[in-house]
Amino acid sequence: MKYSTLNNTDIKVSKICLGSMTWGNQNTEAEGHHQLDLALDNGVNFIDTAELYPVPASAETSGRTSEILGTWLKKTGNRDQVVIASKIAGTGDYTAHIRTTGFSPKSIKSAIDLELQRLQTDYIDLYQLHWPERDTNRFGVRDYKLDTKWEDNFNAILHSLDAEIKAGRIRSIGISNENSWGTMRYLEESKHNNLPRVSTIQNAYSMLTRTFETDLAEVAQRENVGLLAYSPMAFGVLSGKYIKGNASDNSRLKLFPRFARYSSKQATEAAKHYLKIAEQHNITLAQMSLAFVNQQPFVTSTIIGATKIEQLKENIESIYTTLSDEVLNEIANVHAAIPNPAP
């Protein structure tokens, strides 16, 4: 395994991070534990969860993923061997079953209280805001409209998180599904008010979704904020299984077809081109897709997830694949012809 350090911290993490949002829905507790065992045996020490998970979110399942991680920690006693990242849910109808009070001080304290109980631990290594509290573009939304009702609360949020760090309940902080303006506002507040500095940003990034490169990549590198790339395989589209027609009935897009962000006509066409490149160079599309993300200089860790243990093994092994300049040039040609088909 290869390792990096969470930006602005001394926390060492594997370049592959084990994503968990299928546990408690597509995967059972036993399967989640099996994935954790395999990951740890292969050098993966970084695990990402959220109070929202599993996805799709519901009142009945909310928090179940973290509970599965918690029972594994209790069973194995491996807390000191892993770095745990979690998230407080953002606002909106989708999360009204969790809370409707945003990132208020009471919300942040309550969310951490509950997550620590689920995880059966007394601290979280990286605590993230799952998406902005203000209504702004996220999750592939294209058209922009100013949220005139939201009041700037970056400073208040950082003060709340600072109190949790001082209490020893979280070690570092991150943001997720954020844009350049929001990222810089957090950095500005921390710089001028001696408040905790954002370590990471967890956003979608894959060969089908490279909008992070538009301006956030520069922010990430110049301001030392590491990308935790989620959906690097675009909900499995970049495994090739949907193109080849051999996706299982338990695959995400078959179970939840409403998640169509990565399965548009243009995205499917681009994925076919990428599959051809992988086959011509005798590597799997999955490993080419993950290696592409792993090699980006602004990526701190690549979040992988799988419903099948065989998939997980293949995904972890991608860390040992290095794409040649020839392959990278061919990928660049497809991206030039079909840029960001799944923003």
Q: Encode 55-85 in three state secondary structure.
A: CCCCCCCCCHHHHHHHHHHHHHCCHHHCEEE
Instruction: Decide if 285 is inside a domain.
Output: no
Instruction: Decide if 271 is inside a domain.
Output: no
- Give catalytic residues, as residue numbers: 53
Strand segments, DSSP code E, in 107-169 are: 124-129
Contact 120, 74 (CB under 8 A): yes
Instruction: Decide if 274 is inside a domain.
Output: no
> How many whole angstroms separate alpha carbon 248 and alpha carbon 105?
43
Instruction: Decide if 255 is inside a domain.
Output: no
Q: Tell me what pLDDT residue 135 has.
A: 81
Q: Tell me what pLDDT residue 248 has.
A: 60
Give me the torsion for CA of 247, 251, 252, 253, rounded to 10°. Answer: 30
Q: Tell me what pLDDT residue 145 has.
A: 79
Exposure letters 315-338 (e unless 16+ CB within 10 A, then b): bbebbebebeeebeebbeebbeeb
Q: Tell me what pLDDT residue 98 has.
A: 96
Tokens 């999750």 belong to residue = 139
Query: Helix crossing, 325-337 with 285-294: angle to 10°?
Result: 90
Contact 260, 267 (CB under 8 A): no
Instruction: Decide if 86 is inside a domain.
Output: yes
Average confidence (pLDDT) per 10 residues, the chain, 343 residues: 97 98 96 98 98 95 97 98 97 92 97 98 98 84 78 96 98 97 98 98 97 96 98 93 69 60 89 97 96 98 95 96 98 97 88
Instruction: Decide if 105 is inside a domain.
Output: yes
Instruction: Decide if 193 is inside a domain.
Output: yes
Q: What is the residue range of 301's domain?
A: 3-236+290-321
Instruction: Decide if 262 is inside a domain.
Output: no
Q: Tell me what pLDDT residue 313 has.
A: 96
Q: Tell me what pLDDT residue 137 has.
A: 76
Read off the CATH number of the domain in which 194 is found: 3.20.20.100
Q: Tell me what pLDDT residue 142 has.
A: 74
What's the domain count of the chain? 1
Q: Tell me what pLDDT residue 244 has.
A: 74
Contact 189, 155 (CB under 8 A): yes
